[in-house]
Structure 1
Amino acid sequence: METYGILGWIVIGGLAGAIAKLLMPGRDPGGCIITILLGIAGALLAGFLGRSVGWYHDGEGAGFLAAIVGAFVILLIYRLVLARRR
């Protein structure tokens, strides 16, 4: 994802965040901007974890499916933290 530029990050982040929100039932926070940020953060998380495990090399970003999984994990963590507040 690093070669796409900022517009690519926004588009892929929006798609990954939207798919992650569709896969997880229930109400979700935010609108379009939060969805894009969720997808971008998911891609960053997936890339970091992938490099830590050895799936990706330095300078290599996570793929689209990994971005969806990362966004799903971030959304799950957000819901768990939000549930504890209530």
Structure 2
Amino acid sequence: MVGVIANYIPKYQTHINCIKSQGYAIVGYARKTPGPEGKQRRNNLLNRMVYCLKKRSLCDKVFVSSSCLASDSLVSRDVNEEINVLGELTNVDVK
């Protein structure tokens, strides 16, 4: 069982690299549900999600919604308050 778990990420990344070699781009998305944590904590959590998407899933681009519910429509997630938050995150694509 340990061997299966230990080999999962390398096999997954090999598969992702195969997809990339065919000319596809890997796009990631991170979303944070509204919660009581402060702005800095929220930003740290989002930055960690983005880092994992880039490092583990080899994402070429990562988009973020900093405070929304899973049931929110995609268009409602991109509101003005997002602009300030996105500027404080690292490795996030805004376009």
TM-score normalised over the length of structure 1: 0.33
Greater C-alpha Rg: 2
Larger proportion of strand: 2
TM-score normalised over the length of structure 2: 0.31
Larger proportion of helix: 1
